[in-house]
Amino acid sequence: MELQEVAAARKDPGLVVLEGFHACKHAVRFGGELLGVWTADPDELEALRARLAPDVVLEAQVVEHEALVAVVPRAQVVAVARRPDQPDADAVLADPGPAPVVLLEDPRHLGNLGACVRVAAAAGAAGVLTTGRTDPWHPDALRGAAGLHFALPVHRLRTVRTGDRPLVCLAPGGAPARAVPPRAVLAFGTERDGLTPELLARADASVALPMRDGVSSLNLATSVAAVLYGLALSG
């Protein structure tokens, strides 16, 4: 595969574009199949690999800096990988293990969405499901996740479904966030409006994070991190 094919790869639903060392590192570490890797600074890339991920092998094609910047202006390394074959959303929901599933209702910011995937992977969530128009596998989301889409299932739903899992919504006035049953679907809304009334009406329970008076919301990824790690520490 050649560097000039990256633009077409962005539009191919079977491929993903990885920008930056950490995204490439995690894709390889979690079994991703890289079809092409490019860098303009192989010595620095090797130094990063040796220092941060000696378990990972990255064989990159060396290209001119101008050529790399024309494809991805802000990354030292770019790669194209096959989109992994993951369990579908229904299989994720049917998993009998105690880990929660994160549900993001209509997330708007790709970097923030990716940060939620990164947190969910680190905290051992069973998967991340999203609704709305935003593609959770967009290159900007993959960059925000540092490639950790390869570490757990990530899917977009046309309609919300929870299987046999309890639906627990993060909402003002809810119980303390530690009061979450096993296998919950943890639903998070937008920073501006929160969850829709329709989803809140379906909730089996609502939880809230304690916040100082006058502070009306938290960053989406911060909220996901606080809830998941609060559960991990209390369990």
- Reported as type and span, the H/E element at residue 230 is helix 220-234
Percentage of residues in the chain with pLDDT exceeding 90? 81
The per-residue pLDDT for 213 is 86
- The 10 Å Cβ neighbour count of residue 1 is 15
* Residue whose C-alpha is closest to residue 189's, from 138, 145, 141, 132: 132
pLDDT per residue over 20-73, tens digit each?
999 999 999 999 999 999 999 999 999 999 999 999 999 999 999 999 999 988
Q: Is 32 helix (H, G, I), strand (E, B) or coil?
A: coil
Tens digits of per-residue pLDDT, 164-207?
999 999 988 888 777 789 999 999 998 788 899 999 999 999 99
Options 3.40.1280.10, 3.30.360.10, 3.30.460.30, 3.30.1330.30; CATH of 3-82: 3.30.1330.30
Determine the pLDDT at residue 88: 95
- Band of the pLDDT at 235, cuts 50, 70, 90? low
Chain centroid to CA 231: 19
Average pLDDT, the chain: 93
Q: Is the pTM of this model over 0.95?
A: no
pLDDT at residue 214 in the model:
85
Cβ neighbour number for residue 69 with a 10 Å cutoff: 13
Cβ contact 235:183 at 8 Å: no
Q: Which helix (H) or strand (E) holds 127?
A: strand 127-130
Lowest mean pLDDT among 72-76, 144-148, 154-158, 186-190: 72-76
Name the segment(s) of the chain with CATH classification 3.40.1280.10: 89-234
CATH 3.30.1330.30 residue spans of the chain:
3-82
Check residues 139 and 121 and name the one with the higher pLDDT: 121
Regarding the domain delimited by 89-234, which CATH topology (the fold level of the hierarchy) does it fall under?
Answer: Alpha/beta knot (3.40.1280)
Q: Are 71 and 6 in contact (CB under 8 A)?
A: yes
Q: Is the confidence at residue 4, as pLDDT, over 90?
A: yes
**What pLDDT score was predicted for residue 47?**
95
